């Protein structure tokens, strides 16, 4: 196993996961916006709401297609590139993935077909039911994948078995109701709702700025503003919830996010800005708001939060204990009835993962030098600067969204939003921002877990498949090629249909279809 191999495997996973996550948030939120639009249609009987459902549904479909395409990659990749991971934790990790298929993917994927093709074959109420089930399905799939991911961050309800040489499930209940997973789920789906709201808000604003299909755009704007305002509030409140959860399971992630090198007296201050210096293990300068972090993270004024130095010191002790676990395990693999090895193993089992961290530096961990142990202990906290800055970017964007959606919601109540070009332009130019927030949020969660693939249990570097570097370069190049091409096609269609607007439905009622209306080049080209 070479460093290049490990880096390539990680790069491929990160690239494909982040790419997949370009399409997921919009699906999660837009599905509910479609439900709101169609419910309004069913209640009021006004066809403009049906047209809204169909038009935003078209954009939903263009996005969904790539979500499906890139989602299959993720399922393949645990097996193809993370074979040892799949063996080591498949007993726990595989179950939520399989249940995701059974409970969520089938629902979502079966009903999306009827959503698009069932308009003339289903009653109004039945079609609405189909749309609701599609939205429920897509959100349930987020639940199960985040239960799986939450377990990677905080591996509860499982135990290592030396006979089978893997982690085994002890309580599915604990895995399912893992507080980390639940907090991640609500944070992630509400972030998806914000993404979709700003998407609909921004495109509707563009129609209003152009003065076309005004009725259609006003109604879409109102729904997006109301839905988005509620979601932006919850994304911040529930982001705080996942901040609380992180302190319990992954103090190293929190310490890195906060660039907190020393353990500070409770309640710790929140560093608004700082310049982390990895070599000095200190910040060159910092601007701090007193007490805030301690209150958010521990919800008390007396509990302390450990700093990076303290965490590394503590982990050094765990690595030393872990060496005994690794050695005892090697003996047990040769002879399962070795009573002495069994006793040693039981005593040090909790630190097995920490002992495995030394494999990066030495094959026989009992030969590790104090320097190697110290280095492995340093590795247990991820690089501070990237964590610190990505987290702050995400939070800043979150507050920007809240500001936009508050103003938009207020203006849609007072009813004068269409007369505020600055608001419409603000909404339009905000369209790409939720994607940036989602990607850096993903980065904070996953990079922040390093050097582990399963926190405290399995180091990332041991999780990979034994593949050749050539294979990995080849597959990475293939993914980059396919994904670049697919993204270009998707964006082309998305822009084309967003520009066409509801005229793309062919109802004859909208801007480009009315007699005398100006025609953009190619607007009717898709009539065969």
Partner 1 sequence: MFDYETLKIIWWLLVGVLLLGFAVMDGHDMGVGTLLPFVGRTDTERRVIINTVGPHWDGNQVWFITGGGAIFAAWPLVYATAFSGFYWAMLAVLWALFFRPVGFDYRSKIANPTWRRTWDWGLFIGGFVPPVIFGVAFGNLLQGVPFHFDDNLVSHYTGSFWQLLNPFALLAGVVSSAMITFHGANYLMHRTEGAIFERTRLWAMISGLVMVAAFLLAGVFVADLPGYVITSPVDPSALPNPLAKTVNVETGAWLNNFAAQPLLWAVPALGVLGGLAGVLLAMLRQTLAAFVASSLAMAGIIGTAGVALFPFVMPSSSAPASSLTVWDSVSSHLTLTLMFWATVIFMPLIIFYTGWAYKVMAGKVTERFIEANDKAAY
Footprint of partner 1 on residues 15-54 (CB under 8 A)? 54
Cβ nearer to partner 1, comparing 42 with 467:
467
Among 375, 486, 499, 509, binds partner 1 (CB under 8 A): 486
Position among 38, 51, 100, 213 found at the interface with partner 1 (CB under 8 A)? 100
Residue closer to partner 1 by CB (options 92, 357) is 92
Q: Is 473 in the site for partner 1 (CB under 8 A)?
A: no
Q: Which is nearer to partner 1, 421 or 478 (CB)?
A: 478
Shortest reach from residue 355's CB to partner 1, in Å = 13
- The CA distance from 225 to 408, in Å, is 6
Site for partner 1 in 80-99 (CB under 8 A): 80-81, 83-87, 90-95, 97-99
Candidate segments 43-51, 190-198, 443-451, 492-500, binder of partner 1 by CB under 8 A: 492-500
Q: Which is nearer to partner 1, 77 or 251 (CB)?
A: 77
Q: Do 196 and 30 meet the contact criterion of CB atoms below 8 Å apart?
A: yes
**Helical spans, DSSP H, in 22-171:** 24-44, 47-81, 83-99, 106-117, 124-153
Question: Site residues for partner 1, window 105-134 (CB under 8 A)?
Answer: 105-107, 109-114, 116-119, 121-122
Among positions 66, 156, 201, 245, the unique one binding partner 1 when judged by CB under 8 A: 66
3-class SS at 337? Answer: coil
Residue 528 buriedness (CB in 10 A; 0-12 / 13-18 / 19+): exposed
Does residue 414 belong to the site contacting partner 1 (CB under 8 A)?
no
477 binding partner 1? (CB under 8 A): no
Q: Which of 84, 143, 180, 146 lies closest to 453 in space, CA to CA? A: 84
How far apart CA 93 and CA 494 sit, in angstroms, is 35
Per-residue x/- mask for partner 1, residues 507 to 526, rule CB under 8 A?
Answer: ------------------xx
For 158, phi and psi rounded to 5 degrees? -150, 160
Q: Is 339 exposed, middle or buried (0-12, 13-18, 19+ CB in 10 A)?
A: exposed
| Least spacing, CB of residue 41 vs partner 1, in Å | 16
Binding status of residue 478 toward partner 1 by CB under 8 A:
yes
Per CB under 8 A, 211 contacts partner 1: no
What is the enclosing helix (H) or strand (E) of 247? helix 214-249
Rounded CA separation 308/252 (Å): 7
Burial annotation 59-80 (CB, 10 A radius, 16+ → b, else e): bbebbbebbebbbebbeebbeb
Residue 61 in the binding site for partner 1 (CB under 8 A): yes
CB 53, min distance to partner 1, A: 13
Q: Which is nearer to partner 1, 47 or 300 (CB)?
A: 47
| Cα–Cα distance for residue pair 113/96, rounded to 1 Å | 25
Q: Are 447 and 222 in contact (CB under 8 A)?
A: no
d(C-alpha 346, C-alpha 338), whole Å: 12
DSSP state letter for 315 = H
**Considering the complex, what minimum distance in angstroms separates the CB of residue 32 from partner 1?**
19
Considering only 19, 56, 78, 270, the residue that binds partner 1 (CB under 8 A) is: 78
Cβ pair 35, 5 in contact under 8 A: no
The residue among 61 and 179 lying less far from partner 1, judged by its C-beta, is 61
Q: Which is nearer to partner 1, 11 or 98 (CB)?
A: 98
Choose between 168 and 419: whose C-beta lies nearer to partner 1: 168
User: Rule CB under 8 A: is residue 168 a binding residue for partner 1?
Assistant: yes
Helix 47-81 to helix 214-249 angle (10° resolution) is: 30
By rule CB under 8 A, what count of residues binds partner 1?
82
Q: Is 465 in the site for partner 1 (CB under 8 A)?
A: yes
* Count of Cβ atoms closer than 10 Å to residue 41 Cβ: 21
Q: Which is nearer to partner 1, 173 or 275 (CB)?
A: 173
The half-sphere exposure of 514 on its side-chain side, counting CA atoms within 13 A, is 7
Q: With binding defined as CB under 8 A, does residue 205 bind partner 1?
A: no
- Cβ proximity to partner 1: between 66 and 381 the closer is 66
How far apart CA 266 and CA 314 sit, in angstroms, is 19
**x/- map, 132-161, partner 1, by CB under 8 A:** -----------------------------x
**Interaction of residue 9 with partner 1, rule CB under 8 A:** no
Q: Is 497 in the site for partner 1 (CB under 8 A)?
A: yes
């Amino acid at each position: 196993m070479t460093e290049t191999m490990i880096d390539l495997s990680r790069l491929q996973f990160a690239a494909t996961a982040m790419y997949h996550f370009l399409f997921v948030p919009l699906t999660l939120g837009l599905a509910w916006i479609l439900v709101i639009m169609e419910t309004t249609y069913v209640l009021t009987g006004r066809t403009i709401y049906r047209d809204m459902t169909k038009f935003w549904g078209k954009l939903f479909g263009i996005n969904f297609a790539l979500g499906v395409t890139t989602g299959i990659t993720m399922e393949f990749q645990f097996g193809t590139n993370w074979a040892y991971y799949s063996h080591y934790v498949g007993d726990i990790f595989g179950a939520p993935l399989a249940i995701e298929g059974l409970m969520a993917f089938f629902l979502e994927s079966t009903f999306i077909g009827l959503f698009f093709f069932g308009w003339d074959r289903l009653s109004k109420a039945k079609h609405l039911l189909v749309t609701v089930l599609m939205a429920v399905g897509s959100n349930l799939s987020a639940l199960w994948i985040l239960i799986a991911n939450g377990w990677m961050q905080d591996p509860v309800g499982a135990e290592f078995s030396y006979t089978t040489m893997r982690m085994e499930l002890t309580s599915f209940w604990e895995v399912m109701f893992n507080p980390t997973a639940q907090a991640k789920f609500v944070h992630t789906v509400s972030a998806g709702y914000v993404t979709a709201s700003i998407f609909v808000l921004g495109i509707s604003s563009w129609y209003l700025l152009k003065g076309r299909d005004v009725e259609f755009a006003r109604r879409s704007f109102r729904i997006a503003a109301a839905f988005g305002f509620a979601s932006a509030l919850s994304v911040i409140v529930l982001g705080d919830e996942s901040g609380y959860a992180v302190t319990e399971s992954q103090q190293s992630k929190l310490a890195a996010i906060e660039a907190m090198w020393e353990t500070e007296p409770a309640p710790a201050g929140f560093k608004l800005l700082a310049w982390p210096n990895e070599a000095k293990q200190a910040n060159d300068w910092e601007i701090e708001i007193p007490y805030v972090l301690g209150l958010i993270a521990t919800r008390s004024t007396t509990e302390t939060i450990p700093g990076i130095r303290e965490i590394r010191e503590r982990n050094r002790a765990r690595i030393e204990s872990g060496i005994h676990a690794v050695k005892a395990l090697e003996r047990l693999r040769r002879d399962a009835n070795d009573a002495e090895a069994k006793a040693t193993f039981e005593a040090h089992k909790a630190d097995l993962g920490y002992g495995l961290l030394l494999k990066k530096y030495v094959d026989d961990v009992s030969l590790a030098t104090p320097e190697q142990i110290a280095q492995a202990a340093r590795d247990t906290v991820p690089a501070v600067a990237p964590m610190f800055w990505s987290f702050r970017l995400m939070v800043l964007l979150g507050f920007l969204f809240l500001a936009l959606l508050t103003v938009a919601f207020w203006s849609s109540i007072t009813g004068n939003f269409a007369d505020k070009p600055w608001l419409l332009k603000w909404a339009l130019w905000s369209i790409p921002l939720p994607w940036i927030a989602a990607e850096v949020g993903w980065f904070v969660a996953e990079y922040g877990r390093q050097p582990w693939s399963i926190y405290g249990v399995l180091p990332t570097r041991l999780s990979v498949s034994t593949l050749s570097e050539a294979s990995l370069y080849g597959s990475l190049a293939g993914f980059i090629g396919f994904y670049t091409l697919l993204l270009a096609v998707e964006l082309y269609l998305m822009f084309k249909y967003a520009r066409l607007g509801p005229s793309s439905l062919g109802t004859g009622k909208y801007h480009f279809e009315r007699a005398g209306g100006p025609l953009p080049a190619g607007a009717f080209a898709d009539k065969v």
